[in-house]
Every structure is written in structure tokens, then in C-alpha cells.
Amino acid sequence: MRLGVLQETYPNERRVALIPALAPQYAKLGFEALVQSGAGAGAYHTDDAYRQAGAQVLPTREAVLAEADIILTVRTAGANPNFEADLPYIRAGQIWVGFMEPLYRPQGVQQLAARGATAFAMELIPRITRAQSMDALSSMATVAGYKAVLLAAHLSPSMFPLLMSAAGTVSPARVFVIGAGVAGLQAMATAKRLGAAVSGYDVRPATREQVESVGAKFVELPLEVAGAETAGGYARALEEDTLRRQQDLLGEHLIQHEVVITTAAVPGKRAPLLIPRRVVEAMPAGSVIVDLAAEWSGNCELTQPGEIVQHGGVSIVGAVNLPATAPIDASMLYSRNLYNLLAHLHKVGMLAEPTPDHTDEIARETLVALGGRITHPRVAPSAG
């Protein structure tokens, strides 16, 4: 089968779905790589590097779409507002793999299904042990958490570490991270390495040990939350009264910190609103909020995706697609996630004969569209 690798069209996207080093590994599985000219430029991979790795470089996007059986992407369907330009070139039976936002923006997957394409969404990799090497959400969250701290340190008018000099002592910056998922834990660890005094909070009490393991202080709120975690390990959406109480309790801690990084998200739903305007207005001037949930409406009421909003001396960063700002390593990690998934789907026969009721959990859970319809039980209701 022929793998097609396209140049990404999402704004400021610099990652690529296949790095040259993996082309020979795909070849061993019987796949031929077709790469659009310039596809790897944003991640500093040249066309010659792909040719030397055994891939065929085609001059146009249309040529790749016309010849490839499987299209590997970073952001497509609902995860890319420019996706519709590809629709006329998508043919029935063609397999698309990438981030698609099927639960939050299912319209893109609907369009793929309408063209008769088969779609596998990277967001739906099940959180089970044997799928860890395919978990692109975790890989990209690691990059996002790291970059969020660097962005906050750049924007903050204060330095992060404790410094002592003849002129006096500089106190460490106080950093508060909301959410102890992969991105949150990486943010805590990075801020700690930079010398900040780090605190972390998560609605799931079981994350205390993880927060403390990276050197942060776990903040526990007097808030009773039953069933705060789903079977897949994600945080569950809270009831309205509980969420309002959480806002008030968090606000008491937020106003004591110079830097706040939020990572709270619920799959398929609007991100929980944790920082209302009134809390922002109570924070000290010069404070920085980096909202990693900006693409899903944000954890802060004042967040604007892709913008830095100034309000009462507080900078609110609507962080969008931070992994693309570290394209070399992010592309390497994502490419390996894709390769591990494709190798697995090939092994269980899901590429040759896709079926929504496959016995393999990974194959079954990542398939979202087949034969002109949306087949995933969690995606179909939201897609109508």
C-alpha cells in the first residue's frame, strides 16, 4: 500500500506526519511512502532527506492524494479549518489517519464519511498498556506542557528561580498548574527545574502522588467530587454547582501566584471554566495565565484562542498548537506514534479489511468512519 504524507495546512503548523528515518521501517512492512514536496520543511526535513530514505517525493498535494491509499496527517477533518480544500480529491476507500477532533468538531469526520473514506482518529487511542506507544495525545501534551512554561517565563516580568546577590534576594516565582494530566505534570516538572515554587491541583485526588513526584505541592480543595475520573483515566465534567464552588476555592489560591498554567479538558466537551473574570481582576498585576485549553473554549473566561489578552495588568495567553513550536521533536514523537499504530492495524488486518466490530480494541476504538457512515458509537451521536 502507498502512504501519502501531505504538507500541513493548519495555520502555523510545522509538524510532519512522517520523518525520513521511519520511511525504511514502513518499507519493511510493505508500504511505499509518497511525500508532498516541502512537507517536512517546517520540521527541517528536506525533500532530499526523504529521497535518500527511500520515499518518493511528488510535486503537488493533488498528486499525493491521487496516488496514495493511506493519508498520514497531523491535523485534518475537524482539527483543521482548511480541510475542506482536500475534499474534492478524497476518494472512496482511501484511509485517513490523524488528529480529527471527532468528539468536539464531528463535522469534519462527517465530510470524510460522505466521501466514502475510512478514518482513524489519533485522539481515540484507548488508554491501555499495549497502546502507550501509539498515544499521540500524551506525546503532544508532553511538548505542550514544556513549552507552556517557557512561554510563561518569557512573558512574566519576574524571574523563576531563587537568586541571592549582594543587592538582595530574589524570591522564586510562584507557579500554579491546574490539571495533573500529562501536560500538567510536564509543566510542573519544567517549572520546578527552572527554580519556581510550584503547586498543582487536579479534581482527581488520586493524582496527589504524581504531582508530588515531580516536586510540586499538591493543593487539595475541600470539595467532594464523586466519580471525578472516567474509566479511560480522563477527568469527568462536573455539575454546575460543583464547578461554581470549585471556581471560588481555586480563586483563593490563584491570587497568590504570579504564573498560572491551565490544562483542564474533558474529551468531546467544552473545557471547564475555572478562572472567571472576577478572579483575574483579583490577581496581582504582572501575572501570566497560559491557557492550554484555549482550542476548546478555554479554562479562563477571558481567553481568546491564539491571542494574548491584557486585562488589569494580567496577561492571558490563549495557547494554540504549542507542539508545532517544537517541530523537530514533536514530529519525531508523533511520527513514531503513527508508525506504531499503522504497524498494529496492518498486523491485525484492519487496513486491508476495516470493520467497526473488530475484535482488537485498538483497531475498533480508533476507527470513526467507514463505508460512507460514522461507525464509532461515541462519535455518531454528536455527529447526528
Q: Which of 52, 132, 171, 256 is catalytic?
A: 132
- pLDDT tens-place string over residues 8-22: 999 999 999 999 999
Known catalytic membership, residue 208: no
Q: Which of 2, 37, 69, 127 is catalytic?
A: 127
Q: Among 71-85, 147-161, 239-253, 353-367, which stretch is predicted with the lowest mean pLDDT?
A: 239-253
pTM: 0.92
pLDDT band at 269 (very low <50, low <70, confident <90, very high): confident
What is the predicted pLDDT for the residue at 234? 55
Question: Of 25, 133, 138, 304, which is the active-site residue?
Answer: 138
Residue 135 bears catalytic tag: yes
- pLDDT tens profile 169-219: 999 999 999 999 999 999 999 999 999 999 999 988 889 999 999 999 999
Residues of the chain within CATH 3.40.50.720 domain(s) are 2-135+326-383, 141-323
What pLDDT sits at residue 267? 83
Antiparallel, parallel or unpaired: β 95-99 and 70-75: parallel
pLDDT at 231: 53
**Mean of pLDDT values over 263-277:** 90
Which pLDDT score, from 0 to 100, does residue 228 have? 54
Tell me the pLDDT tens digit for each residue of 294-309. Answer: 999 999 999 999 999 9
- The pLDDT of 70-76, averaged and rounded, is 98
Per residue, what are the HEC states of the chain?
CEEEECCCCCCCCCCCCCCHHHHHHHHHCCCEEEEECCCCHHHCCCHHHHHHCCCEEECCHHHHHHHCCEEEEEECHHHCCCHHHHHHHCCCCCEEEEECCCCCCCHHHHHHHHCCCEEEEHHHCCCCHHHHHHCHHHHHHHHHHHHHHHHHHHHCCCCCCCEEECCEEECCCEEEEECCCHHHHHHHHHHHHCCCEEEEECCCHHHHHHHHHCCCEECCCCCCCCCCECCCCCECCCCHHHHHHHHHHHHHHHCCCCEEEECCCCCCCCCCCCECHHHHHHCCCCCEEEECCHHHCCCECCCCCCCEEEECCEEEEECCCHHHHCHHHHHHHHHHHHHHHHHHHHHCCCCCCCCCCCCCHHHHHHEEEECCEECCCCHHHHHC
Q: What is the pLDDT of residue 240?
A: 73
pLDDT band at 268 (very low <50, low <70, confident <90, very high): confident
Position 41 scores a pLDDT of 98
Domain 2-135+326-383 sits in CATH at 3.40.50.720
Is there a catalytic annotation at residue 127? yes
Average pLDDT, the chain: 94
Catalytic residue among 234, 236, 360, 382: 234
Q: Residues 224-256: pLDDT tens digits?
A: 665 555 555 555 556 777 778 888 889 989 999
Mean pLDDT is lowest, of 53-62, 163-172, 218-227, 287-296, for: 218-227
Quick: pLDDT tens for 35-50.
999 999 999 999 999 9
Active site residue 382: no
Sequence-ordered list of residues with C-beta below 8 angstroms from that of 11, at least 6 positions apart, any chain: 81, 82
Per-residue confidence (pLDDT) for residue 246, from 0 to 100? 84
The listed CATH number (3.40.50.720, 3.30.465.10, 1.10.10.10, 3.40.50.150) that belongs to domain 141-323:
3.40.50.720
The answer to whether 186 is a known catalytic residue is: no
